A and B are shown apart, each in its own frame.
Chain A
């Protein structure tokens, strides 16, 4: 079964606005990763946040992790039309540490120019 549930399923904003996507998961995790997928393309890794971290930044991206609530958020600031894509969270969980990723259903983001 899928680990992550993402919210909202779809988001439409104007260029320059901020976009926030949320991800919830069910079991304990090793880490949580966010990926972007442009239509019909492969996945691009955005950011990895470990279970003992609370916040991480990368350029216009800010990711938070709340392990007590089993949730994470991805904030894209000053959005651009090129940010239009689907965004997925994915987790790896103990035990076993095989590294397999459990993906959420994704949030489809449309940034209007």
Chain B
């Protein structure tokens, strides 16, 4: 039973390019959360999605960032026109029910470096 999968594991982009980060939740999980971890800091919530719906995007920057979780395929976190401040580790987590009463399982993360 595969865990949460993320790809790519490492991504290098130049300023102004687009970054696409993918997350496949654990089998049977339909709730996905994205978090960002800046160097030497804890994780900060970005967005919570169910299949085809954004439930809570209170942690998403207002511009350049978007997320989706289509009916088929992985969840995508998209960053347009990246800037150096976007350099961070991006983690997704999945859960069976989005109730806050259960464990979230994390993927290995995507480390984004913006040159």
A residues with a Cβ closer than 8 A to B are: 2, 4, 30-31, 33, 35, 40-45, 48, 50, 88, 90, 92-94, 96-106
User: In the complex, how many angstroms separate the beta carbon of A102 from the nearest chain B beta carbon?
Assistant: 7
The answer to whether B91 touches A43 (Cβ under 8 A) is yes
Please pick, from B42, B105, B108, the residue contacting A105 in the complex, using a CB distance under 8 A: B42
How many chain B residues touch A (CB < 8 A): the figure is 30
Please report the C-alpha to C-alpha distance between residue A106 and residue B38 in the assembled complex, in whole angstroms. 13
| Contact stretch, chosen from B11-19, B73-81, B93-101 | B93-101
State the 5 A-B residue pairs at the shortest beta-carbon distance, nearest first: A92-B100, A99-B100, A103-B42, A43-B106, A42-B108
Chain A's interface: helix, strand, loop or mixed, by majority? loop
Please report the C-alpha to C-alpha distance between residue A97 and residue B43 in the assembled complex, in whole angstroms. 19
User: In the complex, how many angstroms separate the beta carbon of B92 from the nearest chain A beta carbon?
Assistant: 10
The answer to whether B33 touches A99 (Cβ under 8 A) is yes
The answer to whether B101 touches A30 (Cβ under 8 A) is yes
B residues with a Cβ closer than 8 A to A are: 31, 33, 35, 41-45, 48, 55-56, 58-59, 91, 93, 95, 97-109, 111
The answer to whether A31 and B100 touch (CB under 8 A), given A42-B109, A99-B31, A99-B95, is yes
8 A-B residue pairings within 8 Å (CB atoms): A31-B101, A42-B91, A43-B91, A43-B106, A45-B104, A90-B43, A92-B101, A103-B35
Please pick, from B95, B102, B107, the residue contacting A42 in the complex, using a CB distance under 8 A: B107
Q: For B101, list chain A residues within 8 Å (CB).
A: 30-31, 50, 92, 97, 99
Please pick, from B43, B99, B111, the residue contacting A101 in the complex, using a CB distance under 8 A: B43
User: In the complex, how many angstroms separate the beta carbon of B43 from the nearest chain A beta carbon?
Assistant: 5
Please pick, from A30, A48, A94, A102, the residue contacting B103 in the complex, using a CB distance under 8 A: A48
Please report the C-alpha to C-alpha distance between residue A92 and residue B106 in the assembled complex, in whole angstroms. 16
